[in-house]
Structure 1
């Protein structure tokens, strides 16, 4: 143990604690870790920043753009239609089709995009066949995760592990090298969910309307501002209604004309305000000076049509700019042309009061009141995903054919070894832009920059472990403790440690931490590095035990009305099954 090794391990321990506790965002922790390595002299600036030029980072950025181009072309719309037809016939057929479709798509398209595409369809199918979303959304997410381990481009983790292997002098992973074992994992996962898992899925019935589902139970009340009201001549955002009582103003009528509601709207005498208000606030409002209550009654979904609005559910997406911020900090209503958030489902609770001050988290579901113009603005916002009343992208035949041809070309050129995957992906992106399949500004927007910065940062962990000798030290300890039982036992330990860690920490961070140690361990034992690399790659993406283990699990948590325990109950047996299976088939497909 040298001083350099001690510093490197200390920084990595700090990073692990921050990753698990989520006190800072994942990308922030990754960059902080990289900076600490450089400041302490463990890595030079060139070594620390090398992660941003790593082929893995560039490839992942390119794949975000390619997935977006496929999504925008409308090429996948027919899949949703087919799933709807199957779902109306049988729940069991729907479950099988859902996992097969999400698994197949995720092998070539970003799994988050696949879940985003299919989630609104799945929720609608559930309503049509009277099956709770909780019976369908977990199979959707699990299918996407299982399919992602079938190819190199199926998940960013596979690309990252390949990049780490290449930087350590090992042959990079090939496009379909994952496929044989990946198919076994996919079929095993589908069989488990069909025979066992579906019986453990919760059956949480969803009310017929969103206002009941979110427990609004509020009154729709009309208020008239009297000439002597202190709110006359005051912007809506600064009025007592919003500032002190935190009341949601749904509509303002002035001289029989309905006005668009926005924060800076100046209130005038005799304005009629339609507000959504709870019982306690209603009592306080009756005591407010300068206002007159015209009517009050229970709120219903149908009331939204009175002023050309509807209720929408929207998820705060993983790595969203909105994470950790409140609606007030985001200036949500002004930015979205007056769309109003009426309630927030945050983990296991539904929040109604002081919504403007609630700190948002990935997976939170917002109940939003919006008119068609505002809804279109929301659909274009990449930080949230509408999951109800969502319009699909229309077929664009001028784009579908070139998008599919270019995508197939990317896969084949990389699979045949004609060019490296990074070059294939970059050339594909250039062709997509040149042929007008995606605009340059759309390409920039398609890249999840938080993931890119996270990858650039976490790659420094592997570099520090390798440079300081910490990876070799940890490998020696592992060999000393488990090596006596042979390389098969060590391989099984790496798979187990990886899937346990990735359920509580970023899957990419887990891979960046364990892949270098796995490579060095294999080299120290004098066996093939390939099975150890594959064990880390597979296990880092097979995360079923927690809602925060993988982005797709986070996305379905709120809409499925799941509890943390649901993932433990359904996901833990599946993870253990795949661990035992991996211990047998990885050495078979990748001999030690």
Structure 2
């Protein structure tokens, strides 16, 4: 190994470590290492910037706009309401639901589909006496599987296509991936509706209600002079006004911190109580005389509380700019015109003041927000809005406009399929027509584009170039071939899939695809075989993340609302990973080799 190769390998390992532990946002991490490779001379300026002008990356950007326009006009939500309705059979409803969702995911970005449908399906399940935990992981998995059907099904497919074009070879056609994606989607849905359905956790009826009510939030309250248990012990107050809450810490007016709080500790005027409780108990505490809930900012709850505000639950995205920031340092109140009343973190009791909580992916925030909050931030990369007590009527949109946007997308796809236009040209025309017909405006466009994904994609091209330029990709390819050659080409396909899938579960699907692309390309060159089979293997493996909630963002979206444990993904997802791995390897071998 050359010195440059060792340097690149060390940087790649460090990058993977930072991605694994989510030190900062994934797009920033990859961009930082792109800059490192540029400044160290591993890649040229042209190579570093190649991703920012790549056709695949620009196509992803345009697709975000088109998908956002369709979602805006409520056509997906209306369709779901239409096919579900009232039912006595959850299995039958799942059959009717998952197939069209998978097909839709082949033509739309799956993240907005899951964001939109999570609160709808959760409420529908509860209204019909079913457990949301039986339907939300299947929702995520169905959209992931459906995304493998076409070239535009996921951003990962478009990234890989862009890498092919960048390498000077023929890219995917619109339906190149269908020969693998469609069979694994069908097989995957059958598994989800049979074995997977039985493995999923089930909390029915009253038990599900208990689960919902028992979700503990961390909250903060200030004791005033009118509090009825002033200068009494904690045990006294806990038997009456403060019954059912767990006081974690008391911060005196002079700054003294009392932790742990003992039964004989006295409550004094000006005390800040840091406590955890269910949503119902927090609401009851807020009504008590002489006690006021804080919002994690310098303003009290009363400042925000009027007829134009409602309670909203929002889940922090794994790509959020709020991750690893405190609520106070992020200036949440002024930034979103919403107060953070409480915070919930799955399977973990938080010990901190609300304003000092370091936000993590998957955290659920209980907000007091304006009526317009859900509409303004439903496309935000910072968090996924999952429920609101009094939701604005976002579904009251023109059905005609929704069908126009969808029809425009279908016409553009048809033009690509027939070879009249490239995917980039078709999406560019579609976006222009959306503006001309006033189906979208410039302000909305910015909210549809997930700039973190765009930065990650553009930066990832340079990382792949560094691996190729330094010879690291060739070195890894040669060693993988040497290891797998006794197993034949089928064994090599299997190992490429396995390596890509492991990367996907640990870091991100886009990063996994970019890291494995040059390796697979070199393997094809070493063996003198068609590169397309191995590249398709990477595209499929990078998307099929089922074992962890962190591997794919749709898994993270349903994590909190479904009340899942980390182990639920392993139990349900592991057999699905093995199924898709076996089918993909076999189909790729039979079709391309």
* TM-score band, normalised by shorter chain: 0.7 to 0.9
Q: Which residue of 2 aligns with 1:61?
A: 61
Alpha-carbon displacement from aligned partner over 1:494-516 (angstroms, at most 9, x marks no partner): 11111122101111111001111
Q: Contact 1:219/1:298 (CA < 8 Å) preserved in 2?
A: no
1:265-344 alignment runs, 5 A limit:
286-288=268-270, 300=283, 308=307, 310-337=310-337, 339-344=338-343
Q: Which residue of 2 aligns with 1:576?
A: 578
Shift of 1:371: 5.8
Alpha-carbon displacement from aligned partner over 1:312-351 (angstroms, at most 9, x marks no partner): 32212342222222211222233343x4333222232354
Alpha-carbon displacement from aligned partner over 1:106-133 (angstroms, at most 9, x marks no partner): 1111110110111111111111122222
Q: Which residue of 2 aligns with 1:427?
A: 429
Q: Contact 2:319/2:381 (CA < 8 Å) preserved in 1?
A: no
Q: Which residue of 2 aligns with 1:25?
A: 25
* Residues 82, 282 of structure 1: alpha-carbon distance in 2 compared, 3 angstrom cutoff: farther
For residues 80 and 489 of structure 1, what CA distance do their matches in structure 2 show? 42
For residues 306 and 222 of structure 2, what CA distance do their matches in structure 1 show? 13
Shift of 1:6: 2.5
**Secondary structure of 2:567's aligned partner:** helix
Deviation larger for 404-413 or 539-548: 404-413
Q: Which residue of 1 aligns with 2:485?
A: 483
Q: Which residue of 2 aligns with 1:369?
A: 368
Shift of 1:409: 2.3
Q: Which residue of 1 aligns with 2:458?
A: 456
For residues 165 and 219 of structure 1, what CA distance do their matches in structure 2 show? 57
Q: Which residue of 2 aligns with 1:469?
A: 471
For residues 568 and 359 of structure 1, what CA distance do their matches in structure 2 show? 27
Q: Contact 1:344/1:350 (CA < 8 Å) preserved in 2?
A: no
Deviation larger for 202-211 or 412-421: 202-211
Q: Contact 1:52/1:456 (CA < 8 Å) preserved in 2?
A: yes
Q: Contact 1:103/1:146 (CA < 8 Å) preserved in 2?
A: yes
For residues 321 and 417 of structure 1, what CA distance do their matches in structure 2 show? 40
For residues 410 and 301 of structure 1, what CA distance do their matches in structure 2 show? 54
TM-score, with structure 1 as normaliser: 0.83
For residues 553 and 200 of structure 1, what CA distance do their matches in structure 2 show? 17
* Residues 43, 215 of structure 1: alpha-carbon distance in 2 compared, 3 angstrom cutoff: closer
For residues 282 and 220 of structure 1, what CA distance do their matches in structure 2 show? 19
1:122-133 alignment runs, 5 A limit:
122-133=121-132
Deviation larger for 438-447 or 351-360: 351-360
1:155-170 alignment runs, 5 A limit:
155-170=154-169
Q: Contact 2:510/2:542 (CA < 8 Å) preserved in 1?
A: yes
Alignment RMSD (CA, Å): 3.1
Alpha-carbon displacement from aligned partner over 1:387-434 (angstroms, at most 9, x marks no partner): 223443322245224312321122112222222212222222122122
* Residues 193, 211 of structure 1: alpha-carbon distance in 2 compared, 3 angstrom cutoff: closer
**Secondary structure of 2:368's aligned partner:** strand
Shift of 1:368: 2.5
Shift of 1:577: 1.5
Q: Contact 1:311/1:367 (CA < 8 Å) preserved in 2?
A: yes
Deviation larger for 388-397 or 143-152: 388-397
**Secondary structure of 1:530's aligned partner:** helix
* Residues 84, 245 of structure 1: alpha-carbon distance in 2 compared, 3 angstrom cutoff: farther
Alpha-carbon displacement from aligned partner over 1:41-86 (angstroms, at most 9, x marks no partner): 1111111111111111111111111110111122223222124416
For residues 216 and 8 of structure 1, what CA distance do their matches in structure 2 show? 43
For residues 455 and 90 of structure 1, what CA distance do their matches in structure 2 show? 42
Q: Please say if 1:135 is aligned against 2:106.
A: no
**Secondary structure of 2:542's aligned partner:** helix
Alpha-carbon displacement from aligned partner over 1:203-222 (angstroms, at most 9, x marks no partner): 24433696654368999998
Q: Which residue of 1 aligns with 2:359?
A: 360
Q: Contact 1:245/1:281 (CA < 8 Å) preserved in 2?
A: no
Q: Please say if 1:532 is aligned against 2:534.
A: yes
For residues 72 and 578 of structure 1, what CA distance do their matches in structure 2 show? 33
* Residues 44, 379 of structure 1: alpha-carbon distance in 2 compared, 3 angstrom cutoff: closer
**Secondary structure of 2:506's aligned partner:** coil
- Which ranges of structure 1 fall in alignment gaps of 5 or more residues? 226-242, 247-278, 290-296
TM-score, with structure 2 as normaliser: 0.83
Q: Which residue of 2 aligns with 1:214?
A: 216
* Residues 33, 216 of structure 1: alpha-carbon distance in 2 compared, 3 angstrom cutoff: closer
* Residues 244, 433 of structure 1: alpha-carbon distance in 2 compared, 3 angstrom cutoff: farther
Q: Contact 1:219/1:299 (CA < 8 Å) preserved in 2?
A: no
* Residues 508, 499 of structure 1: alpha-carbon distance in 2 compared, 3 angstrom cutoff: same
Q: Contact 2:217/2:344 (CA < 8 Å) preserved in 1?
A: no
For residues 476 and 224 of structure 2, what CA distance do their matches in structure 1 show? 68
Give the count of matched residue pairs: 534
Shift of 1:581: 1.5
Shift of 1:382: 5.3
Shift of 1:302: 12
For residues 402 and 580 of structure 1, what CA distance do their matches in structure 2 show? 40
- Which ranges of structure 2 fall in alignment gaps of 5 or more residues? 228-249, 254-260, 272-279, 288-301
For residues 380 and 20 of structure 1, what CA distance do their matches in structure 2 show? 25
**Secondary structure of 1:366's aligned partner:** strand
For residues 136 and 400 of structure 2, what CA distance do their matches in structure 1 show? 33
Q: Contact 2:224/2:269 (CA < 8 Å) preserved in 1?
A: no
* Residues 372, 424 of structure 1: alpha-carbon distance in 2 compared, 3 angstrom cutoff: closer
Shift of 1:3: 2.8
* Residues 425, 207 of structure 1: alpha-carbon distance in 2 compared, 3 angstrom cutoff: same
Q: Which residue of 2 aligns with 1:5?
A: 5
For residues 553 and 415 of structure 2, what CA distance do their matches in structure 1 show? 29
Deviation larger for 90-99 or 506-515: 90-99
Q: Contact 2:381/2:450 (CA < 8 Å) preserved in 1?
A: no
For residues 18 and 4 of structure 2, what CA distance do their matches in structure 1 show? 21
Alpha-carbon displacement from aligned partner over 1:473-522 (angstroms, at most 9, x marks no partner): 22211221112322121111111111122101111111001111111211
